[in-house]
Structure 1
C-alpha cells in the first residue's frame, strides 16, 4: 500500500479517536457540569489552546480579562483538563474551609520533578504528617532566635548600600538584592546553614528558579508535556533537566552539610529533642536547658533517624520546598512594598517616622521587640500583599462534589483561586488599585469579608511560615526606611507582570537609595 495512503488513514484514525474522546469527556457528569459555567470561547478537542499559546505576558492579560468578563466564575478547557477559576470570597470560603477537598490539582504535578511531594504539593496523610513534623520550626520562641540573623543580614545590606553611596546616590536593580538577602536568611535560619555573602552558587540557584518558573507555565498550557517521555524529546525537557540539576545540587549541599554536622557530633544535638510528644502538637520538643531552636532541617533529620515516616528523599522534598518558597515569595513582597513606598512619598514618610521613633527609644538599636511595634509598616506590607500577592493563584482538585455559591463542581474538576483578582475586586475594595495602608486599620477590617484577602491562602493549607515572613519583611523594610530615602525610577503601574509560580516582573526594575544623614 502507498505510504502516503497509510499516513492518511492513520491521521483520519487519530482525528476520529480525538473526536470520540472529546464527546466522551463532555458527555460525562464532569464535562456537563463544567460546560454549564461561562467562559471564553473554546473549540472541540483543543479547548482554549488558541488563547493560551501566546507569549507568557499576554497569557497574564488573558487571565485578567477572563476574570473581569465572566465575573465571578469562569471555565477553561486545556485539551482534556477542565479548569474552573473562582474569585468571589463566598466561593473561596467554601473551598478553603472544606476539610475534604484539600488536594492540590494536577497542575502541581508539573513541578513534581523539582519539589516532588513536599508540603506545597503533597496531600492526605502524607501532607498532615509532614505539617506536624515541620510546625515546631515556626514556634514563636524560634522567631525570637531567627530575628537575630534577620537583623544582622539587614544591617549588612544597609552597610553595603552605604558603601556604594559614598560616591553618590545608589541606583540598584531591586530584585537581585532582595532575593539574595531573602535566600541567605532562609538558609541560615530554618536551614541552619552558613551562607557566604558573595556566593556565586546562590546567583546560579536564583537564575534556575526563574528558569523553572518559565518551564512550569510552558508545560501548564500543554498537557501532553505531562508525559515525561514526550517532554524529554523537546528542548524544554532538556532545559528542565539542566535546571533541575542546579536546583537539587544547591539543596543537596545544604542537607549533606547538616547531616555531616550531626555525624561528627554523634547526633548529640538531635538527641536533645525530647521524644515525649507535647500534649497539643504530638511533636518532639527541645529541652529548655539546651536553648536550641528546632529548625526545619533538624526536625526532618530527627524524624528520619527515629523512623517517623520520612526518609532521605522526604528530607530533600521539604528542603527543596522551603528554600524555594521561603525566599522567593518573601523577596517578591519586599520588592513590591519598596516600590510602592518609593512612589507614595507621604506613606513612606509616615512609615519612616514610625520606625525612627520606635528605634530612637532604643538608641537606634533594632530588636524583635522594636520590629513588633512597627504597626503602620505592617499595614503597608499587608496593603502591598493585597495589590501584589506573591502567589497570585492557587489550584485544587475537586475530589468530592463541591457545592459553591455560584455552581456545583463534580469530582475531577481543576479549581483555581485567582488571588490577584479577589484582592482587587471593587465590590470588596473601594478604589482597588490605590495603595492605602489604612484599609488594614481595625475599624476598616471589621465587617470585611474574611476571604477577600488571602495572601497566605487560608483554611487547613494556609501558609505555615506567614509569621516568619512578616517578621522578615518588617525588619528588612524597616531597616531600609531608617537609613535611606527611596526614590522610584519606575512606577508599579508600568511594570509588566509574568504569571510565574510566584508574581514576577518581566524586566529589570531599579530603585534609588538615598542615604539619610545621621
Structure 2
C-alpha cells in the first residue's frame, strides 16, 4: 500500500469518526441546553404562578386565548378593564407563546418607567422595523441612549419657536377647508380626516422642510402609502401567524406593505439628499447662538448632527429618525385634536370659556398665535389634558424585561412582557372620580396636587418619555385655538356616540357629526 492509499484510508477513517461523533455531540449539546432551559423555565413558571391570573390551567389558557381572539376591536379595552376589576391592579395573561403582565398601580408603573434598565420595547415593535428600522422609537440599550442624547437638542425651546409659523399656516388652511365643507349648513362627518391631513402637513413641513399640501389634495401617493403601512402593520401585530416574516412577506398584505413602504422610503431619501445639497453647513447650526433661528426643519438639524457625528448619524440613521418622527408626529396629535374639537362642540359652556380666554389674548384681531400666546391658554390646556386623559394617543406601553422586575408586592421574572394600558390607568376611579365624564377642571392646580405623578402619562414617563411632547402641545394649542377663534362648533351627539379602538395609536371607529358656523364672513 503506497503512501497515497494509506493517507486516503486514514482520511476516510477520521471522516467516519467525525460523522459518528458530530450527531452525538449535537444531541448532547441540545439535551444539556434543554435541561438548562427547562430548569430555568420551571423556575420561571413557579414565579409566574404566584401572580394573579384568570388562567391557572392549560385549559383555561386555551379558553382565554380563544375568547380574546373572538373579541371585536371595540371590546378589547373593556375586556381588560373587567380583568383588572376582578383581579386587582396586576394581572398575568398567559398567551401560550408569551407571558404578559398588565400593571395598573401608579407605584408599580413608576418603578418600571423610571428604570434605566427596563427600557426594551415589547416584541410588537419589531414589526415596525421594516419601516422605522432601529430609530428612537424601536431601539434600545446603548444605541437608544446615544440617539436620545443626540436628539434632545433638536426639541429645544428656541427650535420649537421657529415651527410656530408652520403651525399657524396649516391651522388656517384647516379652518378654510372646514368652512368650505360646511357651506349650506352641511354637517362635517369626517372631522378626523381633515385634522389628520392638517397634522401631516405640519409635521412634513417642520420635520422635512417640505410642503406636502395634503390638505389641498396634493401628495396623494405619499398620504395613501402612510395609511396603508399603518393599517397593515396593525393587522400584522394582531394576527399571530403574520408574526412570521416568511408568512407575512408572501401574504397579500405583506406585498402591499412593502410596496407602500418603498414609496415612503424613496420620498424620504430623495428629500434628505435634496436638503443636503441645499444646506450650507456652519458651526452655528447646532451651537446655541442666534444662528439657530435660521434652522427651518428637524431634518436640517439631523444633517448638521450627522456632519458633527458622522459615525453616530449616517444617512441611514437620518432616514430612520425622520420616518419615526413623521409617523409619531402626525398620527398621535391628530387623534387628540379630533377628540378635543368633538368635546368642545359637545360642551358649549367650555367652548365659551375657551373663546373668552382667546378674546382676552387676541381681542378682535386676526393675528397669528405666538409662543407667548400659547403659554397664556390655561383653559385650553386643561381641555387638551382632559382629552388626552380620556383618549391617550397611545393606548398602551410594553416593555420586555431582561432582568427580574421587583414591584411593590410582586416580582415579575425576566423574559416577561409588562404592559401598561394607559387608557385604563386614566380611568382609575381612585384618581378620577366619575372617570368617563369629560371634566377639564380635573387639571386645575389644586386638583393635581395629591394626584400620583404616574397616574397621568399620555406622553409616557421616565427616560423613555415622548421627546416631542412640547412640540405636540404647541401644535395642538395652535390648531384648536385657531378653529375656535374662527368657528362655532356644535357636536350632534353625545360621548356615547364616540367609539375608539386601540391600534398603533388610538383610532376613532365612529364619531358624531359636527355642525360648524363661521364667526367671520371672510377668513384670510
What's the TM-score bracket when you normalise by the shorter of the two chains?
0.7 to 0.9
Q: Which of 315-324 and 80-89 deviates more?
A: 315-324
The answer for the alignment partner of 1:389 in structure 2 is: 392
- Higher relative helix content: 2
The answer for the alignment partner of 1:348 in structure 2 is: 351
In the alignment, the residues of structure 1 paired with residue 493 and residue 366 of structure 2 have an alpha-carbon distance, to the nearest angstrom, of: 35
SS of the counterpart of 2:208? coil
Aligned positions of 1:384-423 closer than 5 A: 384-423=387-426
Residues 393, 411 of structure 1: alpha-carbon distance in 2 compared, 3 angstrom cutoff: same
Aligned positions of 1:328-477 closer than 5 A: 328-360=331-363, 364-477=367-480
In the alignment, the residues of structure 1 paired with residue 39 and residue 172 of structure 2 have an alpha-carbon distance, to the nearest angstrom, of: 58
1:123-157 Cα shifts (integer Å, max 9, x gaps)? 11111121122222211011211001100111121
1:14-55 Cα shifts (integer Å, max 9, x gaps)? xxxxxx99x949953322222221223365396542132123
Residues 241, 361 of structure 1: alpha-carbon distance in 2 compared, 3 angstrom cutoff: same
1:431-483 Cα shifts (integer Å, max 9, x gaps)? 11111111111111112111100000000001000011000111111111111
Q: Which of 307-316 and 403-412 deviates more?
A: 307-316
The answer for the alignment partner of 1:254 in structure 2 is: 268
The answer for the alignment partner of 1:512 in structure 2 is: 515
The answer for the alignment partner of 2:205 in structure 1 is: 188
Measured after TM superposition, the shift of residue 371 of structure 1 is: 2.1
Q: Which of 96-105 and 207-216 deviates more?
A: 207-216
Matched, 1:207 2:207: no
- The 8 Å contact of residues 491 and 512 in structure 2, kept in 1 or not, is answered as no
Aligned positions of 1:268-307 closer than 5 A: 268=280, 270-273=281-284, 284-285=286-287, 287-289=289-291, 291-293=293-295, 295-306=297-308, 307=310
Measured after TM superposition, the shift of residue 403 of structure 1 is: 0.8
In the alignment, the residues of structure 2 paired with residue 245 and residue 129 of structure 1 have an alpha-carbon distance, to the nearest angstrom, of: 32
Provide structure 2 residue ranges, at least 5 long, that are not aligned to the other structure: 1-33
Measured after TM superposition, the shift of residue 272 of structure 1 is: 4.5
In the alignment, the residues of structure 2 paired with residue 472 and residue 456 of structure 1 have an alpha-carbon distance, to the nearest angstrom, of: 15
The answer for the alignment partner of 2:217 in structure 1 is: 198
In the alignment, the residues of structure 2 paired with residue 122 and residue 305 of structure 1 have an alpha-carbon distance, to the nearest angstrom, of: 22
Residues 113, 52 of structure 1: alpha-carbon distance in 2 compared, 3 angstrom cutoff: farther
1:84-138 Cα shifts (integer Å, max 9, x gaps)? 0011101101111111111112222222222221111111111112112222221
The answer for the alignment partner of 1:138 in structure 2 is: 155
What RMSD, in angstroms, separates the aligned Cα atoms of the two structures? 2.5
In the alignment, the residues of structure 2 paired with residue 421 and residue 102 of structure 1 have an alpha-carbon distance, to the nearest angstrom, of: 22
Residues 338, 312 of structure 1: alpha-carbon distance in 2 compared, 3 angstrom cutoff: same
The answer for the alignment partner of 1:52 in structure 2 is: 68
Aligned positions of 1:115-130 closer than 5 A: 115-130=132-147
Q: Which of 463-472 and 101-110 deviates more?
A: 101-110
Partner residue of 1:218 out of 235, 238, 241: 238
SS of the counterpart of 2:58? coil
The answer for the alignment partner of 1:158 in structure 2 is: 175
Residues 231, 40 of structure 1: alpha-carbon distance in 2 compared, 3 angstrom cutoff: farther
Measured after TM superposition, the shift of residue 322 of structure 1 is: 0.7
- The 8 Å contact of residues 248 and 254 in structure 2, kept in 1 or not, is answered as no
Compute the TM-score of the two structures, normalised by the length of structure 1: 0.86
SS of the counterpart of 1:171? coil
In the alignment, the residues of structure 2 paired with residue 171 and residue 290 of structure 1 have an alpha-carbon distance, to the nearest angstrom, of: 41
Compute the TM-score of the two structures, normalised by the length of structure 2: 0.85
Matched, 1:173 2:224: no
Matched, 1:80 2:82: no
In the alignment, the residues of structure 1 paired with residue 513 and residue 262 of structure 2 have an alpha-carbon distance, to the nearest angstrom, of: 30
Measured after TM superposition, the shift of residue 290 of structure 1 is: 6.2
Aligned length: 481
- The 8 Å contact of residues 217 and 500 in structure 1, kept in 2 or not, is answered as no
Residues 510, 272 of structure 1: alpha-carbon distance in 2 compared, 3 angstrom cutoff: farther
Measured after TM superposition, the shift of residue 491 of structure 1 is: 2.8
